[in-house]
């Protein structure tokens, strides 16, 4: 028995799904392709909308406040729906839940693109719900099907997601300018990735269905066999000794450990380690979404042109690929603490450098994009590395993303308010520096090799 399977047997009272079964039922290449295509849909629907917001605002007649809320709505969906995702997965399975999430994202893209103002809001909510499910369950799926390669594969899918996000942001405005396309066509173009993802992931859903059905039938057969043995053992006793008192002929009571219902898994809300990982996830996400929202404005306030500031956002997204791959390679070797230390220190240097030497904007974009890609990969890998079973990983992922995205959705507007109140971005950058320090502390504590089931 492998270490991962031994941990699973010891860590959950409810039998977990066997690691690697679904990945073997389909080919490993097809399983990995499904993971990468799910990752494609994690950011593309969001990053394609950001550069089109001025067109959407003008066409639909949104106020500035409504436009800001529209962009933040998926983050709020992440926070609201992440807690219930592990329960859904426990009931219908990881693969079925992920396939349903892909359907929700695709329906949301259609509504957002072509069903007017109502569809714009409803579709955005559906996209947020679908991405919330995928955010929570994809690390658990990787831990289940590829337990020995979780760090590497997490880095690869994080890099792939960053690449697709950068591509979506880069082509959105040019496509919207084509005759007959508009912002609706540019947003609707991301539907292709979702449909391809459903087609590639469908065989794994079928494999999971067969696996779960087989386990149910095996359990029913075992229960029937046990019932038959019990009735067969009782009948001869009753015939051979009819005068024997009932207390003598009755089978001995089963031990309390056999009759008692299985203990419920420990609530992660009582785990200090789970809260530290939640803080790390939340504050590194806060840095990412704060930079995504305000970095162009910060650069432009220092004299950087609008075109250059937009290009630097694409650079941040693209350089995140390098950070994701390097961090995945390091996490594979369990180099967690140094990875967190270097990445967060880089963020601190960039924030300070932006205040002191804004003319080096391209360098800062390269560095902070690489660092953020690495931090995101570390956070995702910790969900599996600090949990003993796939379902515990899903619970930890749901908890961390629930509270983490509440923070991530709340801080960027605060930074904007501070900028309006002070007339410059300096105070907001200092707030981000403080958040980076908290991220560093939480990441270093999370780096210790422990499990949330015990700590």
Spatial separation of the C-alpha atoms in residues 157 and 327, rounded to whole Å = 12
| Domain co-membership, 175 together with 308 | no
What token pair was written down for 359? 């003319």
Tens of pLDDT, residues 353-403: 999 999 999 999 999 999 998 998 898 888 877 888 877 887 888 788 788
What token pair was written down for 149? 């390669």
Spatial separation of the C-alpha atoms in residues 287 and 282, rounded to whole Å = 9
Please give the tally of structural domains in the chain. 2
| Domain co-membership, 165 together with 307 | no
Tens of pLDDT, residues 56-100: 878 888 776 677 678 778 888 888 887 888 888 888 888 889 999
**Which residue do the tokens 């650079």 mark?**
315
Three-point CA angle 33, 35, 41, nearest 5°: 105
Instruction: Please indicate, yes or no, if residue 66 is contained in any of the structural domains.
Output: yes
* Entry pTM: 0.66
Which pLDDT does position 68 carry in this prediction?
67
| Domain co-membership, 169 together with 285 | no
Q: Cβ distance 191 to 110 under 8 Å?
A: yes
What token pair was written down for 1? 């028995």
| Domain co-membership, 292 together with 175 | no
| Domain co-membership, 434 together with 287 | yes
Instruction: Please indicate, yes or no, if residue 230 is contained in any of the structural domains.
Output: no
Q: Give the count of beta carbons closer than 10 Å to the beta carbon of residue 253.
A: 8
Statement: residue 122 has pLDDT above 60: yes
| Domain co-membership, 196 together with 327 | no
Measured CA to CA in angstroms, residue 413 lies from 62, 95, 191, 279, 368 at distances of 17, 36, 29, 19, 21
| Final residue belonging to a domain, choices 204, 225, 246 | 225
Measured CA to CA in angstroms, residue 362 lies from 59, 165, 294, 296, 318 at distances of 33, 19, 16, 12, 13
Which pLDDT does position 110 carry in this prediction?
94
Which pLDDT does position 19 carry in this prediction?
46
Which pLDDT does position 225 carry in this prediction?
66
Which pLDDT does position 259 carry in this prediction?
46
| Domain co-membership, 206 together with 292 | no
Query: For 251, which DSSP code?
Result: P
Instruction: Please indicate, yes or no, if residue 258 is contained in any of the structural domains.
Output: no
Instruction: Please indicate, yes or no, if residue 35 is contained in any of the structural domains.
Output: yes
Query: For 26, which DSSP code?
Result: S
Any alpha helices (H) in 177-241, and if so which ranges?
Answer: 182-188, 191-240
Q: Cβ distance 175 to 417 under 8 Å?
A: no
The CATH code of the domain that includes 408 is 1.20.1250.20
Instruction: Please indicate, yes or no, if residue 126 is contained in any of the structural domains.
Output: yes
| Final residue belonging to a domain, choices 197, 225, 253 | 225
Spatial separation of the C-alpha atoms in residues 291 and 298, rounded to whole Å = 9
| Domain co-membership, 348 together with 283 | yes
**Which residue do the tokens 């809320």 mark?**
69
Three-point CA angle 200, 202, 207, nearest 5°: 120
| Final residue belonging to a domain, choices 166, 195, 225 | 225
| Domain co-membership, 176 together with 283 | no
Instruction: Please indicate, yes or no, if residue 314 is contained in any of the structural domains.
Output: yes
| Domain co-membership, 344 together with 434 | yes
Instruction: Please indicate, yes or no, if residue 26 is contained in any of the structural domains.
Output: yes
| Domain co-membership, 192 together with 307 | no
Residues spanned by the domain of 137: 14-225
Identify the band that residue 349 occupies on the pLDDT scale cut at 50, 70 and 90: very high
Q: Cβ distance 360 to 298 under 8 Å?
A: no
Instruction: Please indicate, yes or no, if residue 240 is contained in any of the structural domains.
Output: no
| Domain co-membership, 63 together with 183 | yes
């Amino acid at each position: 028995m492998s270490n991962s399977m031994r941990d699973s047997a010891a860590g959950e009272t409810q039998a977990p799904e066997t690691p690697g079964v679904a990945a073997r039922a389909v080919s490993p290449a097809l399983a990995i392709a499904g993971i990468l295509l799910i990752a494609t849909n994690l950011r593309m629907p969001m990053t394609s909308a950001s550069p089109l917001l001025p067109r959407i605002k003008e066409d639909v007649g949104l106020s500035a406040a409504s436009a800001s809320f529209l962009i933040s709505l998926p983050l709020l969906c992440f926070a609201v729906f992440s807690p219930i995702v592990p329960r859904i997965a426990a009931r219908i399975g990881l693969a079925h839940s992920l396939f349903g999430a892909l359907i929700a994202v695709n329906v949301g893209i259609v509504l957002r693109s072509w069903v007017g103002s109502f569809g714009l809001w409803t579709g955005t909510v559906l996209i947020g719900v679908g991405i919330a499910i995928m955010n929570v369950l994809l690390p658990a799926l990787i831990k289940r099907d590829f337990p020995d390669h979780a760090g590497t594969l997490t880095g690869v899918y994080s890099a792939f997601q960053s690449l697709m996000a950068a591509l979506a942001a880069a082509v959105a405005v040019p496509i919207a300018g084509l005759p007959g396309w508009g912002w609706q066509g540019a947003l609707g173009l991301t539907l292709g990735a979702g449909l391809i993802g459903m087609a590639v992931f469908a065989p794994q859903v079928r494999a999971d269905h067969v696996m779960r059905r087989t386990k149910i039938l095996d359990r029913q057969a075992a229960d029937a066999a046990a019932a038959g043995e019990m009735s067969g053992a009782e009948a001869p006793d009753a015939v051979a000794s009819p005068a024997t008192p009932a207390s003598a002929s009755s089978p001995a009571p089963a031990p309390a450990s056999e009759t008692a219902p299985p203990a419920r898994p420990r609530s992660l809300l009582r785990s200090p380690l789970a809260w530290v990982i939640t803080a790390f996830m939340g504050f590194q996400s806060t840095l990412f979404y704060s930079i995504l929202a305000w970095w162009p404005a910060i650069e432009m306030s220092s004299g950087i042109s609008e075109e250059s500031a937009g290009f630097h956002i694409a650079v941040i997204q693209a350089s995140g690929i390098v950070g994701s791959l390097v961090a995945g390679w390091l996490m594979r070797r369990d180099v967690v603490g140094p990875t967190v230390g270097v990445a967060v220190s880089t963020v601190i240097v960039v924030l300070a450098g932006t205040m002191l030497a804004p003319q080096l904007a391209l360098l800062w974009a390269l560095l902070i994009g690489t660092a953020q890609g690495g931090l995101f990969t570390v956070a995702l890998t910790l969900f599996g590395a600090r949990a003993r079973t796939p379902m515990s990983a899903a619970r930890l992922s749901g908890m961390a993303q629930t509270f983490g995205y509440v923070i991530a959705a709340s801080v960027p507007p605060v930074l904007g308010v501070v900028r309006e109140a002070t007339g410059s971005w300096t105070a907001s950058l200092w707030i981000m520096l403080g958040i980076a320090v908290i991220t560093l502390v939480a990441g270093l504590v999370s780096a210790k090799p422990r499990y949330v089931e015990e700590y």
